Amino acid sequence: MVERVESLFRANRIFITLIIYRWASLIPALFALNAAAQFVIPPLAVFGIALGANAFVSVFNRQLNRQVVERPVLLGVDIIFSALMLALSGGAGSPYFLYALSPLLAGAFFFQMRGALLASLFYTPLYLLVVMIGPAVRGDPVTLATALAGIWLLPLLFAYPSTLLKSVNETATELSAAHRQLEIIHDLTVLLQAAPDLLSVQERVLGAVTTELGFSKAVVALVDPAREELGGWMVYPREDSFPQTKPLPLKSENGEVVKALLNHNTFVSDGQTLIGDSNLNDWLMQNKWYITPLYLREHPVGILLVDEAGWSREKESTLMTVANQAALALGTTILCIDRARRLAVETERNRIARDIHDTVAQSLFGIVYSLDACITMLPQKVDDVRSELIELRSLANNAHDEVRRSIFDLWPSALTMELFMADLSNYVSSCCRPKSFSIVFSNNGDFNSLSAGMRRTIYRMAQETLANSARHSGANSARLCLTVSDHEVFLVVTDEGKGFDPAVALSRSQNREHFGLHGIQERVHALGGEFDIASLPGAGARVMITLPINGHHHG
């Protein structure tokens, strides 16, 4: 419905209607070409003047349309011209009366009700003057009243569709702007959903602000919530002169941009120190910026700067809508990254805790066990105690190395199968002294093809499993079988010791002091693998571990 009304009252159509009216109003003059007695100059000359004026208006209608809007005084010139045409063609009885109303209708069209009233008010005394000096009958009140009524009523009536046109155009402009906003938001949302990382999100936000909204240049910076810093500056279109900047703390002394972000204020730069980095500030000072902080609820996400040269009140609403959408996309991405970072920290802490349990705790257990034996041997077996203490010093050094290795993750990348077997043998021997414990190894596949992290994980699991077997099974040996296939790694540790109840061994509540097997089970499940124990009291034990390579289990 709105489109139909808008189509009916388009500005160019009404102006063409005025031109058509101007030509049609000359029809009565055609029938008065022989009424020479009423004309000051020959009727054909008056008609020629009218034709010339109409031709001029028709040819230059677009320019005249614009000029009248910019200089309303030109409409007064046309009114005077129309009054002069009446004076030349007989005054009150002129056949050009309808023609003389055309500038009044134009005033109503261009300036609505105000234009209609002013045009009629200006034209009325001119018309009365023409009537007084004209040769027509001056004392006919009906003719005079009719003419004055036409001078006032027709422009006022024409002002109504002009006012309606203006209202329709304003509504259409608002609807067009709202539709454009929805299109931009839709396109931006689709682009942001497809953005694989934070850098891509930044690029697409800047692209929307410049390409879609028409700003010549835009800059965005992001907040790191963990460090409370503003950094990650990016400009679009890209410029080689844009400086590389280190992140700045979110403190008001670091410039007006940071202050606006902290206070949630939008402003236009005007020669202030915008940022605490001198190189970046010098670059920014080359332009005047419209600066908008980006917030996701109460959390600051970043700051958006657009070249103020392209800013306008009409664009402000759309820019704020885009800024809000950008804040949502950037903020969601930043929060996801922050959560992932926190999760990674927590995962690494758990890894270190497990590594410490698997290495240091086991070494300390061996040290305590040996110290207890030394105390029992004193003072009768001093030489044996001295030998044991020397061994304990070596074990303590190994524990120290394991602490450093767990904390700094300094596992050697070149862990070959030979080192794997040798380290496990030495470790288990140090844990179960003074008795001996041997390991029978069997391996298939290419162990060296596994990643360093996977080799370390397998080592830790084998280490804990063999240590449990050496301490608690009562057996003198265990068998370790390692098989590497294309997609999986199989680790099986078997002993012929006294066995145990797996349910009891894996229960935290009943084994708070010995949770090594439970820790292995958790680690295996976290990696998407399978963990199983086959054991009965008096029947030995078998621990079976299956780990997928590349994080996918291929059953």
Domain that residue 327 falls in: 193-338
Asked if residue 374 is part of any domain, the answer here is no
Assess if residue 332 is contained within a domain. Answer: yes
Predicted confidence (pLDDT) at residue 387 exceeds the cutoff of 50: yes
Q: Could you tell me if 144 and 231 lie in one domain?
A: no
pLDDT at site 458: 92
Quick check: 376 and 397 in contact, CB under 8 A? no
- Global pTM reads 0.41
Distance (Å, whole) CA 40 – CA 367: 132
Q: Average pLDDT of the chain?
A: 78
> Is residue 349 situated within a structural domain?
no
Please say which residue of 305, 321, 338 terminates a domain. 338
Under the banding of pLDDT at 50, 70 and 90, the label for residue 342 is low
Name the β-bridge partners of 230: 223, 248
pLDDT of residue 409: 46
pLDDT tens-place string over residues 256-283: 999 988 988 888 888 888 898 999 999 9
Q: Kindly state whether residues 118 and 252 are assigned to the same domain.
A: no
Kindly state whether residues 86 and 28 are assigned to the same domain: yes
- 552 in the same domain as 428: yes
Which of 93-102, 236-245, 336-345 has the weakest average pLDDT? 336-345
Q: Are residues 167 and 242 located together in one domain of the fold?
A: no
- Residue 232 domain flag: yes
Look at 171-175, 369-373, 448-452, 496-500 and tell me which has the smallest mean pLDDT: 369-373
| Domain assignment of residue 70, yes or no | yes
- Is pLDDT larger for residue 533 or for residue 505? 533
- Whole-angstrom distance, CA of residue 306 vs CA of residue 208: 12
Q: Does 205 lie in the same domain as 141? A: no
In a domain? residue 347: no
Same domain, 25 and 146: yes
**Which has more confidence, 553 or 529?**
529
pLDDT digits (tens, 9 = 90+) for 115-157: 888 888 998 898 888 888 765 544 477 778 888 888 888 888 8
Give tens-digit pLDDT for 270-324. Answer: 888 889 899 999 999 988 898 889 888 888 888 999 888 766 676 677 777 777 7
Give domain status of residue 546, yes or no.
yes
320 in the same domain as 211: yes
| Sheet bearing 248-249, strands edge to edge | 248-249, 229-236, 218-224, 299-307, 289-296, 267-268
The CATH number of whichever domain residue 458 belongs to comes to 3.30.565.10
Q: Do 167 and 258 fall into the same domain?
A: no
pLDDT tens figures, 30-78: 887 776 556 677 888 888 898 998 898 888 888 887 888 788 888 888 8
Spatial contact of 132 and 86, defined as CB atoms under 8 Å apart: no
Do residue 144 and residue 258 come from a single domain?
A: no
**Proportion of the chain above pLDDT 90, given as a percent:** 11
Number of domains in the chain: 3
Report if residue 393 sits inside a domain. no
